Structure 1
Amino acid sequence: MTDPGSAASPATGNSGVAPLLVLGKITDILDSFTLESPSLSLAEIRTRTGLPTSTTQRLVTNLVAQGFLDRDEDRFRIGLKMAYWSAPAVRGIKAIDLLAPLLRELRQATGESATLFRADDDYRVCIAVDETRHELKQDVHVGKVAPLTVGSAGRVLLAWNDDLRERILAQPIPDLAASTITDPAELRAVLDQTRRDGFAITRNERIDGLVGVAAPVFEPSGRVRMAMGVSGPAARIQPHMLEEWAPMLVEMAERATRLIGGRAPAAD
C-alpha cells in the first residue's frame, strides 16, 4: 500500500487525490517557516505541521533535493530557488496594489485607518491608506508628509535603518506634541526597543490626541521598505486596544513582506 505522504506517490485512478494530499503536506511544511522563524529543525517542522516523523523526513529530504528548502547542518530554511519564482509573480504589479487587500483587512478588523508609509529623505510619506468609516478621524491621505522622529510609522522606519537613524538623530528634533521625544539618546534607546519588540506603539507624539501602532515591511535585501500601521484618535482607541492589535499587525506586515518577495533581516 502506497504511503500518501510520499512525494513519489502515484495518482489513484483519475482523481488525483494522492498528489493533492502530497501538495497539501508540502504546503504545510513551507507555511511552517515565518519571518520570525526562518530556520527550523526537522523536529520543529514536524511539531508545526503535525505530520508523522517518517512523512516529514521524506518530504523535507525531497524538498531539499528540489531546491524548495536549503539545509544548513541540522536546520532548514526556504530555498533561494523560491526567490526566482517570486520575482516574476509580482513583476509588473505595484506593491501598493498587492498590499491594498491587507490594508482593507486591517481597517475592517480595527475599525481605524490603515496606512503604509515609506521614508523619503528626512521625512516619511503616506503611500497608501484605507480610511476609517468613523466621522471622527485623523487627517491622513496619500502624499501626507510627517517627520520621521514622531509617530509609530516613523519609529519603525528609523528602527530598521541604521544609516537613516544616525543621520536623523544628528539633527535637531522638532517638539510637536505632549509626548514628543526630543532627546537623541532617549529616542535611540526607544528605537532599539522597537527593533526588539518588532513593532512600535506611540501616543501624542506628532499630534496631541493621536495614537498608533506600526510594524515593518521588508525588501528582498532585508532592509525596511515600508511601515504598515493603524492609527486614530485617542478618544476612541484605548491603550489596551493598541497592545491587542500589535500581534495582528506584525502578522499582517509579515504577509506583506512575503507578497513583495521580501525577507526579514538577520536577528541582531
Structure 2
Amino acid sequence: MTQTSEQESPPRAGGTQALDRATDLVAAVVGADEPLSFTHLQETSGLAKSTASRMLSALERSGLLERDADGSYVAGQLFWLYAARHDPWEELVRLARPTMERIGEDTLETVHLSVVRGDRVAQVAQVDSQFLLGTRDWTAVDVPAHTSALGKVFYGWETLPIPGEPLPRLTDATLTDPAALRRDVREARRRGWALTRDELEVGLAGVAVPVLGPRGQVVAALGISGPTQRLEDRLDELGHHLSDHAVKLTRLLRGDTHQEDVA
C-alpha cells in the first residue's frame, strides 16, 4: 500500500504543476495590452513547444482562450459569457468612482462616465456638481450622442460609426450635418478631448476624454458638464485635467495599481 501511494504522488504533483502553468498562460493573455503570439507565450513561460501547444489547445477547447484573425491569443468566450450574464460595467464603475470623485473635488463640476450599449451611449455613473446650478441626474436621461461631448468621444475614437443621415437638431448650435460632425470629432481626436457648447441645451457645455481598456480599445468616456458661462473659458484646462486622470484610470484598468498612478 505504501509503495502504491508513493507511485501515485508524482502524478498528483505533476498535475498541479500543469494546472499552475495553464493558469499562468491564461493570466498572461488576459492581462496583456494586446494579443500574444504562440512564440511569445512559449518563450516567456519557459515551456517546451510541444507542451505549450498542448496546453494552449486545451485552453482553447475549454473556452478560456481563443485566437484572433492573426493567430494570436486573446481571452476566450467564457470571459465574455460571464460578463454578459452580469453587469459588464459594475467593475468599471467601481474602479472609476475614486477618480471621478477626485475630479469633482478639483473642479466642483458634474463628472460623468459613459459607455456604449449597442448603438447608443449610456451614462453609468455621475458625481454631482458642488454648485447648485448645474446639478442634475443625467444617468436617467437619453442623450443623443451627437449632442454630447461623451458621445463625440465614441465617434471620434471610432467606437461608434458616424450616422450617414442628417441628425436631429436640439438647439441652433446642434451639429446635424454628418460631415460637420465628422470634422468636429476629427479635431477632438487631434486635440485629445471632445467639446460641446449649447448643442444639447442652450447654456450647457461639456468636455470629455476617452478611457482605454487593457487592449487599447476605448471602453468609456470620462467627462465634465456645467453651465456654458462658467465652463467656456476653462474647457481646454478641464480637457487637460480629464486627460491626466483618464491616463491613470487606464493604467488601473490594465492592472497597474501603483499608488502614484491612481492617486
Tell me what 1:202 maps to.
196
In the alignment, structure 1 residue 147 sits paired with structure 2 residue 136: no
Please list, as runs of the form range in 1=range in 2, the aligned pairs for 1:246-257 lying within 5 A after superposition: 246-257=239-250
What displacement does 1:258 show? 1.3
Equivalent in 151, 156, 164 of residue 159 of structure 1:
156
Aligned to 1:173: 167
CA apart distance, 1:254? 1.0
**Alignment correspondent of 2:121:** 124
5+ long unaligned stretches in structure 2 = 1-32, 34-43, 46-88, 257-263
The 1:183/1:223 distance shift into structure 2, 3 A limit, reads same
1:216 maps to which of 210, 218, 238: 210
Q: Relative to structure 1, is the Cα distance of residues 93 and 170 closer, same or farther in structure 2, using a 3 angstrom cutoff?
A: closer
Q: 1:176 to 1:262 in 2, by over 3 A?
A: farther
**TM-score normalised over the length of structure 1:** 0.59
Partner residue of 2:92? 95
Percent identity between matched residues is 32
| Residues 209 and 243 in structure 2, CA contact (< 8 A), matched pair in contact too | yes
Aligned residue number for residue 260 of structure 1: 253
Cα distance in 2 between the residues matched to 1:149 and 1:141: 16
Which residue number corresponds to residue 136 of structure 1? 133
Q: CA RMSD in A?
A: 2.9
Aligned equivalents of 1:256, 1:177: Cα separation in 2? 33
8 Å Cα contact 1:159-1:165 kept in structure 2: no
Q: Is the 8 A contact 1:125 1:143 kept in 2?
A: no
User: Are positions 1:190 and 2:187 aligned together?
Assistant: no
Q: How far 1:116 sits from its partner (Å)?
A: 0.2
Match of 2:73 in 1: none
Post-superposition offset of 1:262: 8.2
The aligned amino acid for 2:152 is: R
Assess if the C-alpha contact under 8 Å between 2:144 and 2:151 holds in 1.
yes
Return the offset for 1:236. Answer: 2.6
Quick check: 214-223 or 105-114, which moved more? 214-223
Q: TM-score scaled to structure 2, two decimals?
A: 0.60
Q: Distance in 1 between matches of 2:225 and 2:167?
A: 22
- Do 2:211 and 2:246's aligned partners in 1 also have CA atoms closer than 8 Å? yes
CA 1:93–1:225: 2 relative to 1, 3 Å: closer
Task: Tell me, yes or no, if the aligned pair for 2:129 and 2:135 is still in contact at 8 Å.
Answer: no
SS where residue 129 of structure 1 aligns? strand
Residues 166 and 177 in structure 2, CA contact (< 8 A), matched pair in contact too: no
Question: 2:106: which partner in 1?
Answer: 109
Question: What is the deviation of 1:180?
Answer: 0.6
- Aligned partner of 2:120: which letter? Y
Whichever of the two has the greater Rg, that structure is: 2
